[in-house]
Chain A
Amino acid sequence: MEEIKLMKGNEAFAHAAVRSGCDGYFGYPITPQSEVMETLQELKPWEETGMVVLQAESEVSAINMVYAGAACGKKVMTSSSSPGVSLKQEGISYIAAAELPCLILNVMRGGPGLGTIQPSQADYFQSVKGGGHGDYHMIVLAPSTVQEMADFVDLGYELAFKYRNPVLMLSDGVIGQMMEKVVLPPYKPRRSMEEVIAQCPWATTGKVGRDHNIITSLALESEVMEATNIRLQAKYREIEENEVRFEEYMLDDADYVFVAFGSSARICKQAVEYARAEGIKVGVLRPITLFPFPTKKIQELATRVKGFMSIEMSAGQMVEDVRLAVNGSKPVGFYGRQGGIIPSAEEALEALKTQIIK
């Protein structure tokens, strides 16, 4: 029988990393995600699987170690929280341009600046619209349970290698620090060198029986750089076509829709319980992938519901994508709290009533 454990989201992520056959973790501590590296140090995977766990001298170093590991076709990852993820943006842009697979975890805290250590979702724009320079996208997964903090490691690697693209898990202080039940995924062995070569013919695995593989994000000739951009954009369209994921919660008979991700979606489910007790038919659309965004699903809902309400721990970021999808056909409201304050289910319901139901 599978064993049910009780652990924090950050701990579940670390356990899942080891079990995913990860080759290397490179990080630098920051609240509220420090348990990731702490757990890895406790697990000592280097003794069992040979996985490297390394505390770099800074976030910038850590992301560049990820860049190098990924160039070798290795399963590598880093984790941080908002200010630390800002420091990684240059490296992320390079990794996206060089088309390398890797996994990045952001356990968001309140900003801007050094901000606060309490939960936030104000890095949505940074995560889905770029963050670093240039036209690129990460695939962005938003866990809303401790179970998903574990499950999205495997899913993240699967997508990262399928599309040769960095994958970001966009979590927050609630999901990282909360303990819940979790069933950890089974152990996968780390890939052998032969398996890495077979899976990643593009990687710098040693020039034996083939031409040079060169990993770079630099192309001084504009025509070459434009061709890279065209290829990247085609890939992003393919990702938008194939990889949209979302959860529908009580939407079948819904008149109104909360759109929320991560811990805000949990709060909205609570608000649905309160609303339905008052006879208001509300459901929740929870985007699981923030890029690609469930635009088509929202368009479909817009044909049959009376209005939308985006609930976020920010000043209103994802709501812009909801509005783009709805395209003016139905009212779209927004309610959020900032700086580490978590909106309550009561506040979310009140906002729906005052802004949309009226």
Chain B
Amino acid sequence: MKKEIIIAGFGGQGVLSMGKILAYAGLMQGKEVTWMPAYGPEQRGGTANVTVILSDDPIASPLLQKYDIVVVLNQPSMDKFESRVKPGGILIFDPNGMTREPERKDINVYRIPATDTAAALGQAKTFNMFVLGGLLKVDPVVELDKVMLGLKKSLPERHHKLLPANEAAMLKGGEIIEKL
């Protein structure tokens, strides 16, 4: 098994953390993992992306041209990465702020209104966990309980009181994702 994933959006959306949680969860399942950020001068508002690879075998290149799963959280990311989903692969997008829907017909496209749902529930800060929950619903690349362990590992201890809210967001994310 090898899953090649890229998550892309604005800085501040929790793109890198989402990747980190996936990587930690993969590690706990005994997988080989790489987590490679585009580490440009990304701050809140700039673009950010992270490539996560989960594999049963040693991973060669941590950077790729084509991905099994592409998650895009803003229009520039959709424009850049829609063409880089492998045929038959998965594209997940949040329609918030998007000016168009994906155009490819040879891939599986999923919509997740994570921004709107998180805002309506007063959970804007756990936005990325809604997206992660949606991703795991359509392709359970790692086990849910390992994700919670991964989250615990990647969150500083002072934030551990937020774990239940994050778990709830993740479960909700699995409910609100829909296939186009």
Contacts and interface: CB of A to CB of B under 8 A. Distances in A.
The residue in B35, B63, B64 that gathers the most chain A C-beta atoms within 10 A of its C-beta is B63
A177 B62 CA distance: 11
Contacts of A6: 23-24, 27, 33, 35, 153
A6 B32 CA distance: 10
Contacts of A174: 36, 62-63
Contact of B61 (A4, A117, A118, A270): A270
B61 A178 contact: no
B3 to A, nearest CB: 15
Given A6-B27, A173-B39, A179 B63 contact: no
B40 interface: yes
The residue in B20, B24, B62 that gathers the most chain A C-beta atoms within 10 A of its C-beta is B62
Interface in B1-40: 20, 23-24, 27, 32-37, 39-40
Contacts of B24: 6
B39 A266 contact: no
A345 interface: yes
B99 interface: no
B60 interface: yes
Contact of B34 (A178, A267, A269): A178
B37 A177 contact: yes
Nearest to A7: B35
The residue in A6, A178, A270, A344 that gathers the most chain B C-beta atoms within 10 A of its C-beta is A6
The residue in B59, B61, B62 that gathers the most chain A C-beta atoms within 10 A of its C-beta is B61
A90 interface: no
A321 interface: no
B63 A267 contact: yes
A16 B112 CA distance: 42
Nearest to B30: A4
The residue in B35, B37, B153 that gathers the most chain A C-beta atoms within 10 A of its C-beta is B35
The 8 closest A-B CB pairs, nearest first, are A269-B60, A270-B61, A179-B35, A270-B60, A267-B61, A178-B36, A177-B39, A266-B61
Interface of A: 4, 6, 31-32, 117-118, 173-174, 177-181, 263, 266-267, 269-270, 272-273, 342, 344-346
6 contacts: A117-B40, A177-B36, A177-B39, A178-B36, A179-B33, A181-B27
Given A180-B62, A181-B27, A267-B61, 20 more contacts: A4-B27, A6-B24, A6-B27, A6-B33, A117-B39, A174-B36, A174-B63, A177-B37, A178-B34, A178-B35, A179-B35, A180-B33, A180-B59, A263-B62, A266-B61, A269-B60, A342-B63, A344-B63, A344-B64, A344-B65
Interface of B: 20, 23-24, 27, 32-37, 39-41, 59-65, 153
